[in-house]
Amino acid sequence: MSRSVILRTAALLIASNTFMTIAWYGHLKYLHNRPWYLAALISWSIALFEYLLQVPANRIGFTEMSLPQLKVLQEVITLLVFAPFALLVMGQTLR
């Protein structure tokens, strides 16, 4: 398995997950006093960038990784991105 493919895939997935986490949870802190439909619209706009990174990441990764390998990589990255976001941005504790 090519290290280059894994690194490019991981880099794109990290960026994608950063947008995803902001889109899914950022509105809870920054748009909590706005109507839900405005939060949804802004979140969908942010999520567009997630998909613009996620699709190429999966296509690149799938050239040398199996679908289960891609999914495990995705989930590990999701936790690595979410934990600092929850702690630093949302002020949550991990229990």
How many other CB atoms are found less than 10 A from the CB of residue 53?
19
The two structure tokens encoding residue 19 = 């947008």
Which residue would you say has higher pLDDT here, 4 or 95? 4
- What global pTM score does this model have? 0.91
CA dist 23 and 18 (Å) reads: 9
Q: What percent of the chain is modeled with pLDDT above 90?
A: 96
Using pLDDT thresholds of 50, 70 and 90, give the confidence band for residue 1. Answer: confident
User: Given this model, what pLDDT does residue 94 score?
Assistant: 84
| Average pLDDT score, the chain | 96
Place of tokens 């934990």: 83
Using pLDDT thresholds of 50, 70 and 90, give the confidence band for residue 8. Answer: very high
Each residue of 26-58: pLDDT tens digit? 999 999 999 999 999 999 999 999 999 999 999
Strands (E), 18-58: none
